[in-house]
């Protein structure tokens, strides 16, 4: 038997999926993950618990929808493929059904600019894509549209999709989106929260990008706002 390709990326897929379980973004067999390779992508197999996944179980796919390997790709391979094709800025696509994001999504609600941390998801809102049956081209089309200019969206009556440039950064953003969903649901208990203006979210986003605030160390830089002692 030939050795599976991209051994480090395969391990990164498994580690990130185990991270989804550890952070309670996922349970059971829900969710899936893909990482771009040179000319295609690696994706989790369908219906295999993350804690049983071995590197050779990860499926290699091309943008033409063909796959290599003994397991079948995730039922959501279409949106993984279409997002990676439409978004050259993205290396990793994460899909999960975490409780709070899904609770908003079953009402068809996205997340508005109630907190400046929303800027980490690339804009002043996280949209909720309309419902379509899992695995369909219609769901993929809705997801690509809802993600325009964004790194996250909710999927009505389903869950969330989060995008990133590294596995760790994508997992961290997914945890942040679920936290925002939880905070938003709590804030709704007291009535409609005050929203920040688009200008203020943009200002906070610029400042966070400059400081690498809210980003994992792998994704870059240092705090360049405070000056290190002796510098
Ligand atoms: P797969 O096991 O086929 O990836 O499906 C899980 C899921 O969450 C579908 O949306």
Q: Assess whether the C-beta atom of 140 lies below 6 angstroms from ligand 1.
A: no
Q: Assess whether the C-beta atom of 122 lies below 6 angstroms from ligand 1.
A: no
Q: Assess whether the C-beta atom of 102 lies below 6 angstroms from ligand 1.
A: no
CATH class of 7-210: alpha beta
**Residue 76 annotated in active site:** yes
Residue with structure tokens 């804690």? 51
pLDDT tens, per residue, the chain with 231 residues:
578 899 999 999 999 999 999 999 998 889 999 999 989 999 999 999 999 999 999 999 999 999 998 999 999 999 999 999 999 999 999 999 999 999 999 999 999 999 999 999 999 999 999 999 999 999 999 999 999 999 999 999 999 999 999 999 999 999 999 999 999 999 999 999 999 999 999 999 999 988 888 777 655 544 555 666 876
The two three-digit tokens of residue 169, written as one number: 């950064």
- pLDDT at residue 221 in the model: 45
- pLDDT at residue 1 in the model: 56
The two three-digit tokens of residue 54, written as one number: 């071995």
Q: Which of 60, 76, 91, 178 is catalytic?
A: 76
- pLDDT at residue 220 in the model: 52
Rounded to two decimals, what is the model's pTM? 0.94
Atom of ligand 1 nearest to the CA of 32: 4
């Amino acid at each position: 038997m030939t050795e599976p390709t991209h051994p480090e990326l395969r391990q990164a897929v498994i580690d990130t999926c185990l991270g989804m379980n550890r952070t309670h973004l996922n349970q059971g067999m829900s969710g899936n993950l893909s990482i771009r390779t040179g000319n295609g992508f690696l994706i989790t197999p369908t219906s295999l618990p993350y804690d049983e996944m071995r590197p050779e179980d990860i499926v290699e796919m091309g943008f033409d929808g063909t796959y290599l390997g003994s397991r079948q790709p995730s039922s959501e391979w279409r949106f993984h493929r279409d997002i990676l094709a439409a978004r050259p800025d993205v290396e990793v696509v994460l899909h999960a059904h975490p409780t709070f994001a899904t609770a908003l999504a079953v009402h068809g609600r996205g997340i508005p600019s109630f907190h400046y941390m929303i800027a980490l998801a690339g804009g002043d809102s996280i949209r909720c894509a309309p419902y379509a049956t899992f695995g369909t081209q219609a769901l993929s089309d809705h997801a690509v549209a809802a993600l325009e200019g964004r790194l996250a969206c909710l999927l009505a009556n389903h869950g969330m999709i989060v995008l990133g440039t590294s596995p760790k950064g994508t997992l961290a953003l997914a945890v942040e989106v679920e936290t925002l969903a939880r905070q938003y649901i709590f804030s709704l208990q007291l009535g409609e929260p005050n929203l920040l203006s688009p200008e203020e979210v943009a200002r906070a986003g610029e400042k966070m990008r400059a400081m690498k605030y809210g980003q994992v160390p792998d994704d870059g830089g240092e705090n360049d706002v405070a000056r290190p002692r002796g510098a």
